[in-house]
Amino acid sequence: MVELTLLGTKGGPSLRKVGPSFLPSSSHISFNNYSVIVDCGLGVSAAMVRAGHALTNLTHIFISHYHSDHCLELGNLIHTAWTSGLSKPIKVFGPPGLENIWENFLKMMKFDIDVRIKDEGRPPLHDLVSIQVYDPEGDQVFSIFNEREFFASGLRNSHPPINDSFSLRFDLGNKSITFSGDTAYFPNLVKLAKGSDILVHEAMLERGVNYIVEKTKNADERLEQHLKLSHTLAAEAGDIAIDAGVSHLLLNHLIPPEREICNDDEWLSEVRKTFDGSCSVGFDGMRVFLQ
**What domains can be seen in the chain, in order of their start residue?**
2-290 (3.60.15.10)
The amino acid at 103: E
CA-to-CA dists, residue 121 to 9, 72, 113, angstroms: 37, 28, 11
Q: Which residues are bridge partners to 154 per DSSP?
A: 142, 168
CA distances for 30 relative to 22, 121, 122, 211, angstroms: 22, 30, 26, 36
Q: How far apart are CA 28 and CA 47, in angstroms?
A: 10
Q: Is the peptide bond before 123 cis (omega within 30 degrees of 0)?
A: no
The three-state secondary structure class of 55 is helix
pLDDT of residue 127: 96
Q: What is the pLDDT of residue 214?
A: 79
Separation of alpha carbons 48 and 64, rounded Å: 18
String of b and e for 117-146 (b: at least 16 CB within 10 Å)?
Answer: eeeeebeebeebbeeeebebeeeebeebbe
Q: What is the pLDDT of residue 146?
A: 96
* Pairwise CA distance, residues 146 & 285, whole Å: 28
Q: Is the distance from CB of 283 to CB of 9 less than 8 angstroms?
A: yes
- Residue 137's pLDDT is 85
SS3 content of the chain, % helix, strand, coil (to 5): 30, 30, 40
Q: Which CA distances in Å does 272 have to 21, 171, 241, 278?
A: 21, 27, 11, 10
pLDDT for 218: 83
What's the pLDDT tens digit per position in 187-212?
999 999 999 999 999 999 988 888 88
Positions in the chain short of pLDDT 50: none
Amino acid at position 232, single letter: T
CA–CA separation, 94 and 165 (whole Å): 9
- pLDDT value at position 211? 82
So what's the pLDDT on residue 135?
94
Distances from the Cα of 264 to the Cα of 45, 179, 256, 289, angstroms? 27, 20, 12, 21
